[in-house]
């Protein structure tokens, strides 16, 4: 086993691709296992595809034979599970894929890693880590205050419920079998290469196309935004200094109402594109999402103390960087569109 070798699932997705880049920059070797579902895109990792310490394998985290083979060949010190179905609206329409990946897939991955870990020499067993990437949404909605790592899970969407189930399995494999697992929760993450079904890129693409900007309800729902580079730093810190059995919450400390987020996007676009028309005039209120959580908020005191981690990117700076990235990368957008994304609304069942 080599501590600098990492098997990472979901590395062709939004967050995963940024983590791949951060790990390679830190001197790690990465095998990226990704099934390349609708949100997985090899264009996201094009910058590292020829890197000497990077390898891509197309496959499912739930494929026990494939994962066992990769573990045997690589003998990684870390398995980083970032692969997930992650869009709440899609889970409202049909939760089947979420259960397949976020629950059954996680269970299969844990089972395969457990069998591998049990056969390692004692010295290698001690250093092995399984890190589960999760979401603040497992905690549910909070009116006042913040969630901590000790807060109870109260998921309110099929997506959040599937992530909660996967987290419970990860914890159970640590408590029952001793597998060295860690769980990371992240607040709403944004930045370059995010699939355009999510709020910020969806609004950017719609506005630049002159389409209406649909805002759920009255836009009063509050989200805490974290720039993807800050999250990648946090995940690297977890890998280097995290302790098995622990949970770590990472959040941006940037709470914004959805309507204010959309208006901020419009202001950045107004300044970047110019012209006499205001993009905010395209805002259009639509029927709210079923079961829409009002507010998410997490404390980051634990990671500040344990890792010295704090978000480095203000929302204003991160948003401007993100909007300008989409404006400069039309070819990336065209690739996504050619794979079937049309910006249609989902999650209305």
Please provide the DSSP assignment of 3-60 as one string.
Answer: EEEEEEESTTSHHHHHHHHHHHHTT-EEEEEE---TT--GGGGGGGTT-TTEEEEE--
Q: Mutual orientation of helices 106-118 and 158-177 as an angle, nearest 10°? A: 20
Query: Which of 253, 236, 94, 95 is closest to 164 using CA atoms?
Result: 95
The Cα 207–Cα 214 span in angstroms is 10
The Cα 236–Cα 240 span in angstroms is 6
State the CB neighbour count (10 A cutoff) for residue 109: 27
Pairing of strands 188-190, 247-250: unpaired
**Residue 296 in tokens:** 């998410």
Helices vs strands, H then E, count in the chain: 13, 12
Active centre residues (catalytic): 136-137, 159
């Amino acid at each position: 086993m080599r501590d600098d070798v990492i098997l990472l699932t979901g590395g062709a997705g939004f967050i995963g691709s940024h983590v791949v880049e951060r790990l390679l920059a830190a001197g790690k070797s990465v095998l990226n296992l990704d099934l390349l579902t609708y949100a997985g895109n090899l264009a996201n990792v094009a910058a590292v595809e020829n890197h000497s310490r990077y390898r891509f394998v197309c496959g499912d985290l739930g494929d026990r034979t494939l994962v066992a083979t990769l573990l045997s060949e690589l003998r990684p010190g870390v398995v980083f599970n970032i692969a997930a179905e992650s869009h709440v609206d899609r889970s409202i329409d049909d939760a089947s894929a979420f259960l397949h990946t976020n629950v059954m897939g996680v269970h299969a991955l844990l089972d395969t890693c457990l069998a591998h870990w049990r056969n390692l020499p004692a010295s290698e067993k001690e250093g092995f880590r399984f890190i589960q990437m999760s979401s603040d949404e497992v905690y549910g909605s909070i009116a006042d205050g913040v969630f901590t790592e000790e807060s109870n899970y109260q998921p309110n969407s099929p997506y959040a419920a599937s992530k909660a189930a996967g987290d419970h399995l990860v914890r159970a494999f640590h408590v029952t079998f001793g597998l060295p697992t860690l769980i990371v929760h992240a607040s709403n993450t944004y930045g370059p290469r995010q699939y355009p079904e999510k709020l910020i890129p969806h609004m950017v693409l719609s506005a630049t196309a002159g389409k209406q900007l649909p805002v759920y309800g009255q836009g009063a729902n509050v989200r805490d935004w974290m720039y993807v580079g800050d999250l990648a730093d946090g995940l690297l810190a977890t890998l280097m200094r995290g302790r098995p059995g622990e949970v770590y919450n990472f959040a941006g400390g940037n709470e914004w109402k959805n309507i204010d987020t959309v208006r901020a996007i419009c202001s950045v676009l107004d300044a970047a594109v110019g012209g006499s028309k205001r993009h905010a005039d395209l805002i259009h209120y639509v029927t709210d999402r079923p079961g829409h959580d009002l507010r998410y908020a997490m404390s980051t005191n634990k990671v500040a103390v344990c890792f010295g981690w704090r978000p480095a990117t203000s929302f204003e700076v991160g948003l401007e960087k993100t909007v300008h990235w989409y404006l400069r990368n039309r070819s990336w957008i065209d690739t996504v569109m050619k794979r079937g994304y049309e910006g249609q609304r989902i999650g209305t069942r």
